[in-house]
Amino acid sequence: RKEVEQDPGPFNVPEGATVAFNCTYSNSASQSFFWYRQDCRKEPKLLMSVYSSGNEDGRFTAQLNRASQYISLLIRDSKLSDSATYLCAAKNAGGTSYGKLTFGQGTILTVHP
C-alpha cells in the first residue's frame, strides 16, 4: 500500500465552485501533514499545514482525522488561478526521521470559466 495516497483526478470545475480533495496515509508514525500546490514543471509551494483541529486560510480549509488517517483540503469559490496540482505530504517526527516529506501523487485541478 502506498504510504500517502491521493485521488489523481483530474477535477474539472467551474469558477466559483467548491471542490474537496482527499488524502490517506498508511504510516501511523506520521505526525505532521501539509498541502502543497505545484504548477506545471515548478517546485511544490507550501499551501498550508494541517492540524488536528482543522485550519482555514481564506478560501482554503484543511482537516486531519488521525483515527481514519485521512486529510482533506476544501477550496471554496474556486478561481481560475487555483488550477494546479495539489500535493498531500506527510512527515514523521522524532526517532531516526530528520523531517523527510512523503508525498502523494497529487490531484490535478482545472478551474474553467
Partner 1 sequence: EPEVTQTPSHQVTQMGQEVILRCVPISNHLYFYWYRQILGQKVEFLVSFYNNEISEKSEIFDDQFSVERPDGSNFTLKIRSTKLEDSAMYFCASILTVGYEQYFGPGTRLTVT
Can you give the binding site for partner 1, defined by CB under 8 A? 32, 34, 38, 41-46, 49, 87, 91, 93, 96-106
CB contact at 8 A, 43 and 105: no
Query: Which CB sits closer to partner 1, 11 or 104?
Result: 104
Residue among 21 and 34 whose Cβ is closer to partner 1:
34
Q: What is the DSSP letter of 81?
A: G
Closest CA relative to residue 27, chosen from 73, 71, 106, 90: 90
* Cell numbers describing residue 42: 515548478
Residue 81 or residue 98: which is nearer to partner 1 going by CB? 98
Distance CA 35, CA 46 (A): 6
Q: Closest separation between CB of residue 34 and partner 1, Å?
A: 7
Smallest separation (angstroms) from partner 1 to the CB of 10: 13
